[in-house]
């Protein structure tokens, strides 16, 4: 198949999933064309069967804001026409699925298929804005195939938008051969030279990730157990998190590492992963931690209970319950036997349910089914 993939190239779950999916599909012999305003973060170096097409953005004094949606649609038209794409896979509905539909109409090509994957905040936050809701609903209904990364997100979409559309749940995935615990004593010694326990959080530092809760949880933990906290990623909430760590006098215990492309070594040096999110459709970074044998303490929101099994791979608490999450963390960090049991269960769950090979095969079957059916009604 010749597949166009459009995603946000920035540090976040949807872009990571889209990029890793494209790389896996290319290895299976499909021709993959990434279409975006910047090269995706995890698309590094030459890979056979993968091509990148940058969306050029023009500046014109009349336009106060960049017009990305039509520019993206125009690039989709160009790539589809000259590369003869079979389908466009839009990750994140707005504006990617909207641009794909517009491109399909411009091409007047009933053979071109559009698959839209819903990742989370496009449905739970952005799409519910009155200025976006009609466009979001339209883009979903006009897609030839729609997938969601969790059962929670599927039900939320059907309820919020009242769409009459079959949505297939295809969960996020992890390369369990790559994300596997490695013994790197040098890294561990550099982070925790006195044998401290290591807690880790990875996100894009948006408000919904509640990274300040991570720091408050850690503050309670470190009062009981000598420990260090690794904060990986960057985003709008980072400054407030740095200020909070100074207020709590944790500067020498909290390490702000910024964006990191290689996560396995950091996860392998960690004992516990914290994810106290306010909104989480799946929890990809928690899955990557589980694959590396790191137990997870998370909130109970969204798709997290579908991933993190309470009392088996980690613990779950209500949003904002910093004290309970800290209690769970202390329990695991002071009980090596239980933590090791949870670590093995998390690794096993990642391998058996979310390995990249079985999930990519689900996407292939979805593509084949969509390509073998008529175009969306009214498209």
CA-closest candidate to residue 40, choices 48, 30, 32: 32
- Do 147 and 94 sit in the same domain of this protein? yes
Identify the CATH number of the domain in which residue 158 sits.
3.40.50.2000
Residues 245-272 pLDDT 10s? 999 999 999 999 999 878 999 999 999 9
Regarding whether 278 and 139 lie in a shared domain, the answer is no
> Domain check: are 216 and 344 in the same one?
yes
Average pLDDT over residues 124-138: 72
Return the pLDDT at 126: 55
pLDDT score of 377: 44
Same domain, 135 and 248: no
Q: Which domain holds residue 339?
A: 185-353
Residue 331 lies in a domain: yes
Residues 330 and 228 in one domain: yes
Number of domains forming the structure of the chain: 2
| Mean pLDDT, range 139-147, rounded to an integer | 94
Residue 67 lies in a domain: yes
Separation between Cα atoms, residue 31 and residue 23, nearest integer Å: 10
Residue 300 phi, psi dihedral angles, 5° rounding: -100, 20
Does the residue 177 lie in any domain?
no
pLDDT at residue 120, as a whole number? 78
Residue 205 shares a structural domain with residue 318: yes
The answer to the question of residue 178 being in a domain is no
202 plus 347 within the same structural domain: yes
**DSSP-based helix, strand, coil % in the chain, nearest 5:** 45, 15, 40
Q: What is the pTM of this model?
A: 0.90
Q: Is 180 inside any structural domain? A: no
Query: Do both 161 and 24 map to the same domain?
Result: yes
Our measurement of the distance from residue 223's CA atom to the centroid of its chain's CA atoms, rounded to an integer in Å, reads: 32
pLDDT over threshold 80, residue 312 = yes
Residue 65 clears pLDDT 80, i.e. is over it:
no
Is residue 99 very low, low, confident or very high in pLDDT (cuts 50, 70, 90)?
A: very high
Over residues 5-47, the pLDDT tens digits come to: 999 887 677 888 999 999 999 999 999 999 999 988 878 878 8
Q: Within this chain, do residues 341 and 362 fall inside the same structural domain, yes or no?
A: no
> Is 378 a domain residue?
no
227 lies in some domain: yes
Residues 213 and 284 in one domain: yes
What 3-state DSSP class applies to 106? helix
Asked if residue 119 belongs to a domain, the reply is yes
For the ranges 9-13, 168-172, 245-249, 312-316, which has the lowest average pLDDT?
9-13
Comparison of pLDDT for 125 and 190, the residue scoring more: 190
**Same domain, residue pair 202 and 90:** no
Span 172-189, mean pLDDT?
Answer: 92
- DSSP string covering 279-312: --SS-HHHHHHHHTT--EEEE--TTHHHHS-BTT
Query: Are 207 and 321 in a shared domain?
Result: yes
Question: What is the rounded average pLDDT for all residues in the chain?
Answer: 92
Mean pLDDT score, 276-282: 92
What φ, ψ does residue 303 adopt, rounded to 5°? -90, 0
């Amino acid at each position: 198949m010749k597949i166009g993939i459009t995603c946000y190239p920035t540090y976040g779950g949807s872009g990571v999933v889209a990029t890793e999916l494209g790389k896996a599909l290319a290895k299976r012999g499909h021709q993959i064309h990434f279409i975006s305003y910047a090269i995706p973060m995890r698309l590094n170096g030459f890979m056979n069967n993968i091509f990148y097409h940058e969306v050029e953005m023009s500046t014109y004094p009349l336009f106060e804001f960049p017009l990305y949606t039509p520019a993206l649609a125009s690039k989709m038209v160009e790539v589809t026409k000259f590369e003869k794409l079979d389908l466009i896979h839009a990750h994140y509905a707005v504006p990617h699925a909207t641009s794909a539909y517009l491109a399909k109409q411009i091409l007047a090509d009933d053979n071109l298929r559009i698959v839209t994957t819903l990742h989370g905040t496009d449905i739970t936050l952005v799409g519910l804005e009155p200025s976006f809701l009609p466009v979001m609903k339209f883009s979903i209904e006009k897609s030839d195939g729609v997938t969601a990364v969790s059962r929670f997100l599927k039900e939320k979409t059907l309820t919020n938008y009242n769409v009459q559309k079959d949505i297939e749940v295809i969960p996020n995935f992890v390369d369990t051969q790559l994300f596997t615990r490695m013994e790197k004593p040098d890294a561990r010694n550099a982070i925790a030279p006195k044998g401290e326990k290591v807690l880790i959080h990875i996100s894009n530092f948006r408000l919904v990730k509640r990274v300040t809760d991570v720091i408050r949880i850690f503050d309670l933990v470190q009062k009981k157990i000598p420990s260090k906290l690794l904060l990986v990623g960057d985003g709008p909430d980072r400054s407030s998190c740095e200020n909070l760590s100074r207020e709590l006098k944790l500067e020498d215990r909290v390490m702000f590492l910024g964006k990191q492309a290689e996560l396995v070594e950091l996860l392998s040096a960690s004992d516990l992963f914290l994810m106290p999110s306010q909104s989480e459709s799946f929890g990809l970074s928690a899955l990557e931690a589980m694959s590396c044998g790191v137990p997870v303490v998370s909130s109970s929101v969204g798709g997290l209970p579908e991933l993190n099994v309470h009392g088996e791979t980690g613990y779950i608490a209500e949003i904002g319950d910093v004290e309970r999450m800290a209690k769970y963390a202390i329990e695991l960090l002071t009980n090596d036997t239980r933590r090791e049991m949870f670590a093995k269960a998390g690794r096993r769950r990642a391998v058996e349910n979310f390995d990249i090979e079985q999930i990519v095969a689900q996407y292939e079957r979805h593509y084949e089914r969509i390509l073998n059916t008529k175009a969306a009604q009214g498209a």
